[in-house]
């Protein structure tokens, strides 16, 4: 994995040199885009990548793929690696969608931010109806060994556990916590580490958009789990914001980055209602202000493909044209 990255960075640097050598400071955001793309701008600041959610139904569209490869350096499977997609029945693995996503990334020399192994949602009923601790433990271990094992060495990071907290910072009721308490976290991360020793292992959640009770609950858990070393490498904040909701993000990212033995934090599913330029500017600046904030992933390319389509929350419109929010992000990164 390391040598892959080194080689990739070296090749990317050589290929990009003539473009990167152009003076960008005085150009418009549009020509900055044309010369570089958001991912290269962010990498030039020493960070890991700017990515987008994708899957076969998206990147098989030529316009989507063109924007993805121009602007982004990573893809996250929007749905194809979730438990319902990958293991709909016990031991029956359906990985064609996940394979397609990983092949797309590999073929095009971009990273994979994989999502997600243990989550109460998009979970098949055969898992949520398990009533025995040992059976559930085996189900988790087998799921993670098979899915994370298949892509070992090909993904940069995994969301191992997703959305395990309530808004007050307590642990959400789920088949996982109800049967196993928080030990499901330890056993899930141990299984993921075993399956893919090179991947950075993340815990991910939503509404971590200020230094609120939920963010504090998550940090407390990470402090406990990481008390004796690095079990959880990174904390992901989904950052699905409403209009005007970016004010607390900088404080939230600082708080998350303070968790014990955490190497990275990431903005993992960014979209903002109405896609205000000021809101996007605030989020990107919040990430830049914390050196552990290594990646920003947009939750899709163009508005009509968003899970929040009616709120037009992304950087590109229905015609894949960049919006004011795009220009704002490019300006902050340029
Ligand atoms: C969403 C997808 O975007 C939708 O296509 C799907 O129908 C539901 O899930 N938190 C997460 C993501 O971690 O996996 C969710 O993605 C959005 C909220």
Neighbours of 15 (CB within 10 A): 11
Minimum mean pLDDT among 30-34, 106-110, 195-199, 255-259: which range? 30-34
Tokens of 182: 């928080």
320 sits in the region (left: phi over 0; alpha: psi -120 to 50; else beta) called left
Catalytic residue among 163, 198, 264, 290: 163
Tokens of 237: 């904040």
Residue 104 Cα to ligand 1 midpoint, Å, equals: 20
| β partners of residue 266 | 236, 295
d(CA 103, CA 4): 15
Q: How confident is the model at residue 27 (pLDDT cuts 50, 70, 90)?
A: very low
Instruction: Using the predicted structure, report yes or no on whether residue 325 has a pLDDT greater than 90.
Output: yes
| DSSP character at residue 172 | P
DSSP 38-87: HHHHHHHTT--EEEEEE-HHHHTSHHHHHHHHHH-SEEEESSTTSHHHH-
239 lines ligand 1 (CB under 6 A): no
User: Which CATH number do you get for residue 245?
Assistant: 3.20.20.80
Mean pLDDT of 327-331: 97
d(CA 66, CA 72): 10
From 298, 217, 287, select the one nearest 254 (Cα to Cα). 287
User: Residue 180's domain spans which residues?
Assistant: 4-333
Helix (H) or strand (E) holding 295: strand 293-298
Give me the number of domains the chain comprises. 1
d(CA 132, CA 201): 27
- Residue with the two structure tokens 């076969």: 56
* Best probe residue, ligand 1, of 269, 300, 302 (max atoms within 8 Å of C-beta): 269
d(CA 118, CA 139): 11
| Per-residue pLDDT, 30 | 53
Instruction: Using the predicted structure, report yes or no on whether residue 84 has a pLDDT greater than 80.
Output: yes
Q: What is the pLDDT of residues 44-71, one digit of tens each?
A: 999 999 999 999 999 999 999 999 999 9
- Please report the atom of ligand 1 found closest to the CA of residue 299: 3
- Residue with the two structure tokens 């350096």: 73
From 250, 236, 175, select the one nearest 205 (Cα to Cα). 236
Which residue's C-alpha comes closest to atom 16 of ligand 1?
78
Instruction: Using the predicted structure, report yes or no on whether residue 217 has a pLDDT greater than 50.
Output: yes
- Please report the atom of ligand 1 found closest to the CA of residue 307: 3
238 lines ligand 1 (CB under 6 A): yes
Q: What's the pTM?
A: 0.91
* Best probe residue, ligand 1, of 307, 308, 310, 314 (max atoms within 8 Å of C-beta): 307
* Best probe residue, ligand 1, of 79, 116, 303 (max atoms within 8 Å of C-beta): 79
Contact 211/248 with Cβ under 8 angstroms? yes
Minimum mean pLDDT among 6-15, 28-37, 85-94, 174-183: which range? 6-15
Instruction: Using the predicted structure, report yes or no on whether residue 205 has a pLDDT greater than 70.
Output: yes
Q: How confident is the model at residue 332 (pLDDT cuts 50, 70, 90)?
A: very high
31 lines ligand 1 (CB under 6 A): no
- Would you give the distance in Å from CA 244 to the centre of its chain? 22
Tokens of 210: 């200020």
| Per-residue pLDDT, 36 | 74
Q: What is the pLDDT of residues 260-319, one digit of tens each?
A: 999 999 999 999 999 999 999 999 999 999 999 999 999 999 999 999 999 999 999 999
d(CA 23, CA 32): 9
Instruction: Using the predicted structure, report yes or no on whether residue 333 has a pLDDT greater than 90.
Output: yes
């Amino acid at each position: 994995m390391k040598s892959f990255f080194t080689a990739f960075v070296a090749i990317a640097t050589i290929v990009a040199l003539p473009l990167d050598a152009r003076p960008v400071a005085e150009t418009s955001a549009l020509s900055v885009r044309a010369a570089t793309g958001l991912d290269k701008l962010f990498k030039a600041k020493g960070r890991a990548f700017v990515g987008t959610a994708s899957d076969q139904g998206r990147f098989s569209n030529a316009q989507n793929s063109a924007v993805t490869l121009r602007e982004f350096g990573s893809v996250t499977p929007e749905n194809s690696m979730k438990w319902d997609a990958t293991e709909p029945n016990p031991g029956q693995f359906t990985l064609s969608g996940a394979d397609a996503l990983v092949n797309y990334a590999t073929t095009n020399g971009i990273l994979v931010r994989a999502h997600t192994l243990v989550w109460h949602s998009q979970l098949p009923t055969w898992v949520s109806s398990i009533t025995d601790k040992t059976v559930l433990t085996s189900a988790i271990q087998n799921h993670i060994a098979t899915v994370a094992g298949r892509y070992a060495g090909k993904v940069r990071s995994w969301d191992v556990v997703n959305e395990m907290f309530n808004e007050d910072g307590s642990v959400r009721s789920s088949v996982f916590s109800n049967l196993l308490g928080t030990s499901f976290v330890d056993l899930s991360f141990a299984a993921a580490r075993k399956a893919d020793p090179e991947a950075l292992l993340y815990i991910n959640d939503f509404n971590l958009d200020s230094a609120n009770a939920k963010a504090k609950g998550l940090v407390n858990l990470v402090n406990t789990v990481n008390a004796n070393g690095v079990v959880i490498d990174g904390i992901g904040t989904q950052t699905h914001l409403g209009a005007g909701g970016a004010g607390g993000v900088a404080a939230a990212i600082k708080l998350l980055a303070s968790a014990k033995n955490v190497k990275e934090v990431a903005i993992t599913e960014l979209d903002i209602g109405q896609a205000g330029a000021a809101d996007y500017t605030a989020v990107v600046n919040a990430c830049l202000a914390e050196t552990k904030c290594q990646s920003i992933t947009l939750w899709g390319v163009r508005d009509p493909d968003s899970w929040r389509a009616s709120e037009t929350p992304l950087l590109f419109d229905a015609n894949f044209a960049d919006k004011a929010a795009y220009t704002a992000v490019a300006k902050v990164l340029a």
